[in-house]
Structure 1
Amino acid sequence: MPYSWTSPAPSPDSQVLRLWPHQSLPPKGYAAFILGTFSLVLIPLFTLLGSVLLWGILPFVLLAIGGVWYALDRSHRNAQILEVLTLTGERAHLVRHDPKGTVQEWDCNRYWAEPRMHETDGPVPHYVTLKGAGREVEIGAFLSEEERVALYHDLVRALRR
Protein backbone atom coordinates (compact mmCIF):
# COMPACT_ATOMS: atom_id res chain seq x y z
CA MET A 1 0.00 0.00 0.00
CA PRO A 2 1.38 3.42 -0.82
CA TYR A 3 0.35 4.79 2.56
CA SER A 4 1.36 4.08 6.13
CA TRP A 5 0.19 4.91 9.64
CA THR A 6 2.70 5.75 12.36
CA SER A 7 2.46 6.90 15.96
CA PRO A 8 5.00 9.54 17.03
CA ALA A 9 6.99 8.49 20.13
CA PRO A 10 6.29 11.45 22.46
CA SER A 11 2.52 11.30 21.97
CA PRO A 12 1.08 7.78 21.67
CA ASP A 13 -2.50 9.08 21.22
CA SER A 14 -1.62 10.85 17.97
CA GLN A 15 -1.34 9.20 14.56
CA VAL A 16 0.33 10.25 11.33
CA LEU A 17 -0.82 9.00 7.93
CA ARG A 18 1.55 9.42 4.97
CA LEU A 19 0.25 8.89 1.43
CA TRP A 20 2.24 8.85 -1.81
CA PRO A 21 1.60 7.70 -5.39
CA HIS A 22 2.80 4.25 -6.41
CA GLN A 23 6.15 4.38 -8.22
CA SER A 24 6.31 1.34 -10.51
CA LEU A 25 9.74 2.21 -11.94
CA PRO A 26 12.53 2.57 -9.35
CA PRO A 27 15.67 4.59 -10.22
CA LYS A 28 17.67 1.49 -11.18
CA GLY A 29 14.84 0.36 -13.45
CA TYR A 30 14.71 3.84 -14.99
CA ALA A 31 18.41 3.70 -15.86
CA ALA A 32 18.14 0.12 -17.13
CA PHE A 33 15.16 1.00 -19.35
CA ILE A 34 16.93 3.98 -20.92
CA LEU A 35 20.11 1.95 -21.47
CA GLY A 36 18.15 -1.00 -22.88
CA THR A 37 16.15 1.22 -25.24
CA PHE A 38 19.32 2.95 -26.41
CA SER A 39 21.07 -0.40 -26.99
CA LEU A 40 18.15 -1.92 -28.90
CA VAL A 41 17.81 1.13 -31.12
CA LEU A 42 21.55 1.10 -31.90
CA ILE A 43 21.52 -2.51 -33.18
CA PRO A 44 20.01 -1.66 -36.59
CA LEU A 45 22.34 1.34 -36.87
CA PHE A 46 25.43 -0.89 -36.91
CA THR A 47 24.55 -1.93 -40.45
CA LEU A 48 24.72 1.72 -41.47
CA LEU A 49 28.23 2.40 -40.08
CA GLY A 50 30.37 4.09 -42.72
CA SER A 51 27.31 5.08 -44.72
CA VAL A 52 25.88 8.54 -45.32
CA LEU A 53 22.46 7.21 -44.26
CA LEU A 54 23.70 6.91 -40.66
CA TRP A 55 23.87 10.71 -40.35
CA GLY A 56 20.36 11.04 -41.74
CA ILE A 57 18.84 8.54 -39.29
CA LEU A 58 20.95 9.27 -36.19
CA PRO A 59 19.22 12.58 -35.25
CA PHE A 60 15.81 10.89 -35.27
CA VAL A 61 17.09 8.01 -33.15
CA LEU A 62 18.56 10.44 -30.63
CA LEU A 63 15.34 12.45 -30.67
CA ALA A 64 13.34 9.28 -29.91
CA ILE A 65 15.66 8.35 -27.03
CA GLY A 66 15.45 11.91 -25.72
CA GLY A 67 11.65 11.77 -25.92
CA VAL A 68 11.52 8.55 -23.90
CA TRP A 69 13.91 10.04 -21.36
CA TYR A 70 11.84 13.23 -21.07
CA ALA A 71 8.54 11.33 -20.74
CA LEU A 72 9.84 9.06 -17.98
CA ASP A 73 11.45 11.97 -16.14
CA ARG A 74 8.27 14.04 -16.37
CA SER A 75 6.18 11.12 -15.12
CA HIS A 76 8.53 10.67 -12.17
CA ARG A 77 8.42 14.39 -11.29
CA ASN A 78 4.60 14.48 -11.50
CA ALA A 79 4.40 11.61 -9.02
CA GLN A 80 6.27 13.54 -6.32
CA ILE A 81 3.16 14.08 -4.21
CA LEU A 82 3.08 13.60 -0.45
CA GLU A 83 0.03 13.93 1.76
CA VAL A 84 0.42 13.88 5.54
CA LEU A 85 -2.60 13.62 7.83
CA THR A 86 -1.82 14.18 11.50
CA LEU A 87 -4.47 13.18 14.03
CA THR A 88 -3.94 14.38 17.58
CA GLY A 89 -6.30 14.25 20.53
CA GLU A 90 -8.18 17.35 19.34
CA ARG A 91 -7.02 18.22 15.81
CA ALA A 92 -6.97 16.73 12.33
CA HIS A 93 -4.36 18.42 10.12
CA LEU A 94 -3.79 17.54 6.45
CA VAL A 95 -0.80 18.83 4.46
CA ARG A 96 -0.36 18.17 0.74
CA HIS A 97 2.99 18.74 -0.97
CA ASP A 98 2.56 19.05 -4.75
CA PRO A 99 5.23 18.30 -7.38
CA LYS A 100 5.64 22.03 -8.09
CA GLY A 101 6.54 22.68 -4.45
CA THR A 102 3.26 24.23 -3.36
CA VAL A 103 1.87 23.25 0.01
CA GLN A 104 -1.85 23.07 0.76
CA GLU A 105 -3.11 22.73 4.33
CA TRP A 106 -6.38 21.86 6.01
CA ASP A 107 -7.00 21.92 9.75
CA CYS A 108 -10.10 20.92 11.68
CA ASN A 109 -11.32 19.85 15.09
CA ARG A 110 -11.01 16.07 15.07
CA TYR A 111 -14.52 15.65 16.45
CA TRP A 112 -16.01 17.37 13.38
CA ALA A 113 -13.74 15.74 10.79
CA GLU A 114 -15.81 13.37 8.68
CA PRO A 115 -14.43 11.06 6.00
CA ARG A 116 -16.71 10.69 2.97
CA MET A 117 -16.63 8.35 0.02
CA HIS A 118 -18.18 9.47 -3.26
CA GLU A 119 -18.59 6.20 -5.12
CA THR A 120 -19.59 7.70 -8.48
CA ASP A 121 -19.76 11.50 -8.01
CA GLY A 122 -16.03 12.25 -7.86
CA PRO A 123 -13.39 12.56 -10.57
CA VAL A 124 -12.40 8.94 -9.83
CA PRO A 125 -14.47 5.99 -8.54
CA HIS A 126 -14.60 5.77 -4.73
CA TYR A 127 -13.32 9.34 -4.32
CA VAL A 128 -12.39 9.96 -0.66
CA THR A 129 -12.69 13.36 1.01
CA LEU A 130 -12.45 14.79 4.50
CA LYS A 131 -15.08 17.32 5.55
CA GLY A 132 -14.80 19.74 8.42
CA ALA A 133 -14.27 23.40 9.31
CA GLY A 134 -16.54 24.43 6.43
CA ARG A 135 -14.36 22.76 3.76
CA GLU A 136 -14.20 19.44 2.02
CA VAL A 137 -10.74 18.33 0.85
CA GLU A 138 -9.66 15.32 -1.18
CA ILE A 139 -7.26 12.76 0.18
CA GLY A 140 -5.51 9.97 -1.72
CA ALA A 141 -7.01 10.70 -5.15
CA PHE A 142 -3.84 9.24 -6.74
CA LEU A 143 -4.39 5.83 -5.10
CA SER A 144 -5.95 2.90 -6.91
CA GLU A 145 -9.64 2.16 -6.45
CA GLU A 146 -9.05 -0.69 -3.95
CA GLU A 147 -6.55 1.43 -2.01
CA ARG A 148 -9.04 4.32 -1.75
CA VAL A 149 -11.68 1.96 -0.33
CA ALA A 150 -9.17 0.63 2.24
CA LEU A 151 -8.09 4.20 3.04
CA TYR A 152 -11.68 5.25 3.66
CA HIS A 153 -12.23 2.41 6.13
CA ASP A 154 -8.92 3.21 7.86
CA LEU A 155 -9.92 6.87 8.18
CA VAL A 156 -13.31 5.98 9.64
CA ARG A 157 -11.62 3.76 12.27
CA ALA A 158 -8.91 6.30 13.07
CA LEU A 159 -11.31 9.23 13.47
CA ARG A 160 -13.64 7.26 15.75
CA ARG A 161 -10.92 6.85 18.40
Structure 2
Amino acid sequence: MTPAQDPRDAAGALSPAASACPGGAADPFVRADPPLYAVTVWPHRSLDARGMRRFLGVLAAGFALPLLAVWGTPVVWALAPFPLAALGLTWVTLSISRRQGRLVEELRLWPDAIAVERREPRGRVLRWSANPYWVTV
Protein backbone atom coordinates (compact mmCIF):
# COMPACT_ATOMS: atom_id res chain seq x y z
CA MET A 1 0.00 0.00 0.00
CA THR A 2 1.49 3.34 -0.98
CA PRO A 3 1.55 6.20 1.54
CA ALA A 4 -1.06 8.13 -0.46
CA GLN A 5 -3.49 5.20 -0.17
CA ASP A 6 -2.95 4.65 3.57
CA PRO A 7 -5.63 6.77 5.33
CA ARG A 8 -3.56 7.00 8.50
CA ASP A 9 -0.57 8.29 6.59
CA ALA A 10 -2.68 10.88 4.78
CA ALA A 11 -3.98 12.18 8.13
CA GLY A 12 -0.59 12.64 9.75
CA ALA A 13 2.95 11.39 10.14
CA LEU A 14 3.58 7.95 11.60
CA SER A 15 6.68 6.57 13.24
CA PRO A 16 8.77 4.23 11.08
CA ALA A 17 7.89 1.28 13.35
CA ALA A 18 4.17 1.89 12.92
CA SER A 19 4.53 2.34 9.16
CA ALA A 20 6.48 -0.91 8.88
CA CYS A 21 3.59 -3.01 10.17
CA PRO A 22 0.30 -1.11 9.90
CA GLY A 23 -2.31 -2.50 12.24
CA GLY A 24 0.35 -4.54 14.04
CA ALA A 25 1.65 -4.36 17.60
CA ALA A 26 3.77 -1.31 16.80
CA ASP A 27 0.75 0.73 15.66
CA PRO A 28 -0.13 2.87 18.72
CA PHE A 29 -3.70 3.48 17.56
CA VAL A 30 -4.67 -0.21 17.76
CA ARG A 31 -2.59 -1.39 20.73
CA ALA A 32 -4.22 -3.73 23.23
CA ASP A 33 -2.00 -2.85 26.21
CA PRO A 34 -3.11 0.16 28.26
CA PRO A 35 -0.95 3.30 28.00
CA LEU A 36 1.17 4.47 30.93
CA TYR A 37 -0.45 7.90 30.65
CA ALA A 38 -3.52 9.03 28.74
CA VAL A 39 -5.12 12.45 28.74
CA THR A 40 -7.89 14.12 26.75
CA VAL A 41 -7.71 17.88 26.23
CA TRP A 42 -10.16 20.36 24.74
CA PRO A 43 -10.39 24.18 24.49
CA HIS A 44 -11.61 26.10 27.51
CA ARG A 45 -15.11 27.52 27.03
CA SER A 46 -15.43 30.63 29.17
CA LEU A 47 -18.70 31.69 27.50
CA ASP A 48 -21.47 29.07 27.47
CA ALA A 49 -24.70 29.36 25.43
CA ARG A 50 -26.54 31.17 28.24
CA GLY A 51 -23.69 33.65 28.67
CA MET A 52 -23.61 34.26 24.93
CA ARG A 53 -27.33 35.09 24.91
CA ARG A 54 -26.87 37.48 27.83
CA PHE A 55 -23.89 39.17 26.21
CA LEU A 56 -25.74 39.64 22.92
CA GLY A 57 -28.77 41.01 24.81
CA VAL A 58 -26.66 43.59 26.67
CA LEU A 59 -24.88 44.48 23.42
CA ALA A 60 -28.22 44.92 21.62
CA ALA A 61 -29.47 47.18 24.42
CA GLY A 62 -26.27 49.22 24.23
CA PHE A 63 -26.61 49.57 20.47
CA ALA A 64 -30.29 50.56 20.78
CA LEU A 65 -29.65 53.28 23.35
CA PRO A 66 -28.32 55.90 20.89
CA LEU A 67 -31.18 55.11 18.48
CA LEU A 68 -33.75 56.21 21.09
CA ALA A 69 -32.85 59.86 20.39
CA VAL A 70 -34.01 59.54 16.78
CA TRP A 71 -36.83 57.01 17.34
CA GLY A 72 -39.89 57.84 15.25
CA THR A 73 -37.98 59.85 12.66
CA PRO A 74 -36.73 58.71 9.25
CA VAL A 75 -33.14 59.02 10.54
CA VAL A 76 -33.53 55.81 12.54
CA TRP A 77 -33.77 53.83 9.28
CA ALA A 78 -30.45 55.29 8.13
CA LEU A 79 -28.70 54.51 11.43
CA ALA A 80 -30.25 51.14 12.39
CA PRO A 81 -28.42 48.93 9.84
CA PHE A 82 -25.02 49.66 11.38
CA PRO A 83 -25.70 48.40 14.93
CA LEU A 84 -27.70 45.49 13.47
CA ALA A 85 -24.75 44.52 11.26
CA ALA A 86 -22.35 44.76 14.21
CA LEU A 87 -24.69 42.64 16.34
CA GLY A 88 -25.06 40.07 13.56
CA LEU A 89 -21.31 39.82 12.98
CA THR A 90 -20.73 39.44 16.72
CA TRP A 91 -23.25 36.58 16.81
CA VAL A 92 -21.60 34.89 13.79
CA THR A 93 -18.08 35.11 15.24
CA LEU A 94 -19.18 33.84 18.66
CA SER A 95 -21.03 30.95 16.99
CA ILE A 96 -17.93 30.02 14.99
CA SER A 97 -15.85 30.15 18.16
CA ARG A 98 -18.32 27.87 19.97
CA ARG A 99 -18.24 25.40 17.08
CA GLN A 100 -14.43 25.34 17.14
CA GLY A 101 -14.64 24.47 20.84
CA ARG A 102 -15.69 20.93 19.91
CA LEU A 103 -12.05 20.12 19.12
CA VAL A 104 -10.67 17.19 21.17
CA GLU A 105 -7.13 15.82 21.39
CA GLU A 106 -6.09 12.57 23.05
CA LEU A 107 -2.50 11.99 24.10
CA ARG A 108 -1.41 8.43 24.96
CA LEU A 109 2.05 7.43 26.18
CA TRP A 110 3.63 3.95 26.25
CA PRO A 111 7.27 3.13 27.05
CA ASP A 112 8.02 2.73 23.33
CA ALA A 113 5.50 5.07 21.66
CA ILE A 114 3.57 8.30 22.04
CA ALA A 115 0.39 8.92 20.07
CA VAL A 116 -1.76 12.00 19.55
CA GLU A 117 -5.22 11.75 18.03
CA ARG A 118 -7.00 15.00 17.14
CA ARG A 119 -10.72 15.08 16.35
CA GLU A 120 -11.69 18.34 14.67
CA PRO A 121 -15.17 19.92 14.81
CA ARG A 122 -16.03 18.85 11.26
CA GLY A 123 -15.23 15.21 12.02
CA ARG A 124 -11.74 14.97 10.51
CA VAL A 125 -9.38 12.80 12.56
CA LEU A 126 -5.63 13.46 12.50
CA ARG A 127 -3.15 11.03 14.05
CA TRP A 128 0.53 11.36 14.90
CA SER A 129 2.88 8.94 16.63
CA ALA A 130 6.56 8.90 17.50
CA ASN A 131 9.21 7.40 19.72
CA PRO A 132 8.95 9.19 23.12
CA TYR A 133 12.72 9.63 23.20
CA TRP A 134 12.45 12.29 20.48
CA VAL A 135 9.39 14.10 21.85
CA THR A 136 9.07 16.93 24.37
CA VAL A 137 5.64 17.34 25.96
**TM-score band, normalised by shorter chain:** 0.5 to 0.7
**Alignment-mate amino acid for residue 86 of structure 1:** R
Residue of structure 1 in register with 2:28 after alignment: none
Spell out, residue by residue over 1:54-106, the C-alpha distance to the aligned partner (whole angstroms, 9 max, x if none).
11111122111101111211222233321012346776432101233210123
Give the distance between the partners of 2:134 and 2:46, measured in 1 at CA: 28
More strand by share: 1
RMSD of equivalent CA atoms: 2.5
Percentage of identical aligned residues: 28
Aligned pairs, number: 105
TM-score by length of 1: 0.54
Q: Could you say which structure has the greater relative contact order, defined with CA pairs below 8 angstroms and 6 or more residues apart?
A: 2
Q: Does 1:58 align with 2:80?
A: yes
Residue of structure 2 in register with 1:113 after alignment: 132
Residue of structure 1 in register with 2:108 after alignment: 86
Matching of residues 1-161 of structure 1 within 5 Å: 14-87=36-109, 92-107=114-129, 112-114=131-133, 116-117=135-136, 152=137
More helix by share: 2
- SS in structure 2 at match of 1:50: coil
The runs of 4+ residues in structure 1 deviating greater than 6 Å are none
Higher gyration radius (CA): 2
Flag structure 1 segments of 5+ consecutive residues without an equivalent: 1-10, 118-151, 153-161
Give the distance between the partners of 2:109 and 2:59, measured in 1 at CA: 46
Q: Displacement of 1:42 after TM fit?
A: 0.8
Flag structure 2 segments of 5+ consecutive residues without an equivalent: 1-32
Question: Do the aligned partners of residues 66 and 13 (structure 1) sit closer, same or farther apart at CA in structure 2, a change above 3 Å counting?
Answer: closer
Give the distance between the partners of 1:12 and 1:89, measured in 2 at CA: 11
- SS in structure 2 at match of 1:24: coil
